[in-house]
Amino acid sequence: MVYKDWGKIIWARTITPRHAPTAWFFMHQRLPVKCRLARFSSQNAGLECALCEAEEEDFDHLFFWCMWAKEYWLAIKQWWPTTIDTSSTRDFMHTLLHLKGPKREKIVTYAIYVAGIYQIWRTRNEMIFAQHLYQYRLSSSSPNAILDRGSLHSIES
């Protein structure tokens, strides 16, 4: 499902340029999650989520249902309280696109949640390709404490 008006989120001037392509692919559901890759291959081995290894890795699981992702979104919501629904891709996009409030607050919220999508995707890729998982810690009230790699601490597996 492609969402209309996604451009106002991805191309908001507060969005880090590195995060925009990942957000674009996310909103078009074109990120190569394992279930999507399996549609192009005859081998269906290893479809489990790279972060929790409990369920098949599809969009909703990786970004919203995985325990790692749930904890990540909870940490962001504790730091930046919003009404963004992180229960599924559809609900997430709907609430993000229909966010109410002052423009300044909305564009900061867009940046925070786009950075969240980017960080989940990046952590998933690092788990697959570098075999280590990152854990986040809220040790500071700074936005960078949640959104930057500096807040992620490696867990050797």
Strand, coil or helix: 11: coil
Per-residue pLDDT, 109 = 93
Query: How would you classify the pairing of strands 132-136 and 152-156?
Result: antiparallel
- The better pLDDT of the pair 37, 61 is held by 61
pLDDT category of residue 152 using cuts at 50, 70 and 90: very low
* Lookup result for tokens 């908001």: 12
N- to C-terminal Cα separation, the chain: 35
Neighbours of 99 (CB within 10 A): 18
Per-residue pLDDT, 35 = 86
Instruction: Return the DSSP state at 56.
Output: B
